[in-house]
A and B are shown apart, each in its own frame.
Chain A
Amino acid sequence: MSIRLTITTILTAGLLLTALPAMAHHSKALQFDMTGEISVEGTIVELEWRNPHAWLNIEVVNEAGEPELWRIEFSSANSLIRRGWRPADLPVGAMLKVHGLPSRDGSRTVDGEEVTLADGRSLLAGSNVEGY
């Protein structure tokens, strides 16, 4: 793991913890493993810019060299807009890293908490620090 990614992860995790108390939503623990963490890296196949959750479908090459489709769940498109995300930042074909929580049912689904774009920019998901 590069130094830049490590720092990004630390910064992100800190901001996430401070943002958590503002969340007003159903429990993530229904769907995701709150004790785990996962990072995946791949190419955007599709962006679903929707409510109640925005989704990124990304193609990840596994250790066997095979492509796998992973689905990343984010908070609502409304909350992402208010956090400064724009669909133009997430075009099909773009490479990115996603950090978040693994699913409880073992499927290739991640609760996306942070996205790092190819140019190094970091996008934070979840209800924003204003708690909308």
Chain B
Amino acid sequence: MTNMNRIGLGIATLLILALTSLAGIAQEYSPPRTSDGHPDLQGVWQALNTAVWDIQDHSASYGVPAGQGIVVGNHIPYQPWALEQREENYNNRLTEDSEANCKMVGVPRITYMPYPFQIFQTADQVVMTYEWVHSIRNIFLKGEHLPGPIEWYMGDSRGHWDGDTLVVDVMHFTGETWLDRSGNFHSPSLHLVERYTRTGPDHMLYEVTIDDSEVYTEPWQISMPLYRRMESDIRVLEYECYSLAEASTQVQ
């Protein structure tokens, strides 16, 4: 590289750094805080995308709207065998998807189910409540992951604050839930790191690093906004699927 190019590169770098730090300052939002000084994540939130159908970019199909995906880079680094499994899942989705069986749908899918959910927060715990079959997540801010083997549909969640971001480490899953209705899947070895960051009065950024050495060749990420439900009388209602299912006077 010539000296002129070096200087040019140096100036460019400085400009980029200055601009990003300016942008950073402009974008940095200081949210209201709870009494222990952390951002207040509480309230009723909802995802506004088509991730529940398919977390990647997809065209419309009958009954399914088109959508831009939430996968960073739009690529899921499946191991070769897993691509066949995903296709089999897709072909059997009407019977094999846990949602089709009125069962819990796991994490992160519960976050982008198309219904409002609610966040509660104390110094020790963050609790999230959902409409889908009264799912609930207790994110413990004190204590370590439990020793295994444990298979929980919603995993074992342990959180801590990283500046103004709530970071949640989740493991101990079943292998039964899918990441969407299109058959994207994981094994019980799924390990997530979620990040919840307030970006404005009524917006939150939800990012997840997804890792599973049984299914993917490397970790990958999803990223999406969450939107505050603004109605003053908003409630998280109930979607008691299995009690509503066909012939629900029969025992199931």
Contacts and interface: CB of A to CB of B under 8 A. Distances in A.
Chains A and B are bound partners: yes
A50 B151 contact: yes
A87 B151 contact: no
Interface in A1-59: 49-50
Nearest to B148: A87
A49 B149 CA distance: 9
Interface of B is mostly: loop
Interface in B132-161: 149-151
Interface residues of B, number: 3
B31 to A, nearest CB: 35
Nearest to B174: A50
A77 B151 CA distance: 10
A100 B150 CA distance: 26
B37 to A, nearest CB: 33
B135 to A, nearest CB: 14
A77 to B, nearest CB: 8
Contacts of A50: 151
Contacts of B150: 77
A26 to B, nearest CB: 13
Interface in B151-181: 151
A74 to B, nearest CB: 16
Contacts of B149: 49, 87
B140 to A, nearest CB: 15
Interface string A67-105: 000000000010000000001000000000000000000
Contacts of A77: 150
Interface of B: 149-151
5 contacts: A49-B149, A49-B151, A50-B151, A77-B150, A87-B149
